[in-house]
Structure 1
Amino acid sequence: MSRRKLDARQFAPEILPYLLVNLCQRAAALGVPPVRLCAGLGVDLAELKRGVLVSNRQAWRMIRRALQLSGRADLGFEVGVGQDLASFGLLGQVMAVASTLDEAITLGVRFHPAGGALLDIEARSDSAGITVELRPRLRDPQVVMFLLEEFLASVLELFRRELMQPLRLQALELSYPPPAHSERYAQILGCMPQFNAGRNAFFIHATALKQPLPKSNPALFETLKDQLEQHARQGVLDTVAAVKRLLGRGAAAPQSVAQLAQALDLSARTLRRRLEEADTSFRALHNQVRAEQAQALLEQGVTVAEAGRRLGFSDIRTFRRAFKRWQGQSPSEVRKPG
């Protein structure tokens, strides 16, 4: 049987450690020393508190270990209900001074990586309200349940305690079967989920979204939002750099947005959105990479025909036209004699 190829993104240190700090603290209260959770991960609690970035894999390993050592299948709820504004970093501060529930939720979805989320989050709005879909990045059912329980409990706690505006879910769908502690869902989340659903998502009615938030501060909101956008811009630039690296692999390069998104462990929709935020597209980056490769080959003295062949052109005339379009010069004008 073929083994599933490991995704390099799972190993990239890109996750803010807010959740893991809270996990260590809650596990300690349950009798599990943080040193046991961190053993072999290359990071300790002191480093996590300083904000050292971790990978998805490191986070998943710590969560699995905490579930096993604590013996608490509902550990996600235990961690989530104990969080405060600091647990969301800069994102929590911005949400706290938003004008309305809608503004806070929309901002939270857009900038969810800044809160250390280990889920991919997307939202769709219409006249009825907003549907927020939560997409786990792995298949381990225990870790998936932990992540969803922790996220839902912590977000509802944030709105209840810090934003002083309870968040009421009109509907909640979860992809897994009812766990043994299913009664806690209604107690903590305020509604009973539809288990064994085809997705993980919740819905909030439009009337609730219009509710004003008591700590609203438009001037501070804009200032803090600018800081969030600067951080997000760096993330967008990182995505563009990753796309260009993949497209530079020659014959092994992804040939479509779908293939590229799969290689980056993103949905095609998320990838398109990130590229749009960077004012570019798959086609533009693909052409840019090919232009740079062609330029380098020609400057090395490679013949025009050979450069075109290496870039996948079967017809030298097509390559000449493409290069002229990319660079504003013909290949022969750029080529250095070998």
Structure 2
Amino acid sequence: MNFSLVFLLFIVLFIFLSSFFTVKQQTAVIVERFGRFLSIRHSGLQLKIPMIDRIAGRVNLKIQQLDVIIETKTKDNVFVKLKVSVQFMVVKETVYDAFYKLEFPHDQITSYVFDVVRAEVPKLKLDDVFERKDDIAVAVKRELNEAMTTYGYTIINTLVTDIDPDIQVKNAMNRINAADREKTVAEFEAEASRIRIVAKAKAEAESKRLQGQGIADQRREIARGLVESVDVLNGVGINSQEASALIVVTQHYDTLQAIGADTNSNLILLPNSPQAGSDMLNNMVASFTASNLVGESMKKNIKVIPKKEKPKSEEPGKPSEEDEV
């Protein structure tokens, strides 16, 4: 008697507790009655009739992601693997369609992604696949939205997250990129070398110009100083030839003094005897005097020969005596 009562109480408690159930946030629960759709329950504490109503399934309302890897061929016959990430979710208002119309949503999405990618990529070359991956993603999203909306799903975003060509093609691309970068480096190095050469040439040209200008200024000042020195010596009764000789001898001794002041000089000036200066002066004066004597003698030997005029006849038209002879 007591055992039957306990069992009955247990059955009543079980039935009472099975009348309640909870639904988590971002989840929808499908309730059926005798195998027929009854209602959709959302988050919170829910009530159903025990033994009559049952939970047919739960639908996740969160954003989900499905990664699909597709291998296909490009327009230039290069096999490439693409990883497409599809972000999707079930719309709250279309939970019924998502639960009853489509049983395996992941397989359905994968099939559409394969179909779109294998239709778009063979139209592009390998380089274009990298550059236009966003266009491929947009095409996948557009096709999926048109197909999955019927089943209560919405596509949030599609991303081409990885493009992996064949290993041999990848190595060839790396070699091409390395060669291009080496070419760029060589061009920059050549341009830098050209700039250095041009700058050096300009600097040398400017240095030569300034050096020539300095030498010209120096010689101009030396000539001016020599003229002034000759004028001063002429004022004290020394003629130009003797003054020139004296200046040359003075420069000779100045040169000897400059050479002697440099301890590291190995220059030898010939002649370098004590009487070299006086000999140089005497020779210069003698040469100037001899040149003057030669010039004067040449002037004296030059004679002016007058031109002999031809006698004129006394009457015009009448031949002269010489003509008659």
TM category (shorter chain) comes to under 0.3
Q: Using CA pairs below 8 Å that are at least 6 residues apart, which structure has the higher relative contact order?
A: 1
Q: Which has the larger radius of gyration?
A: 2
Q: Under a length normalisation based on structure 1, what TM-score does the superposition of the two structures give?
A: 0.17
Q: Under a length normalisation based on structure 2, what TM-score does the superposition of the two structures give?
A: 0.17
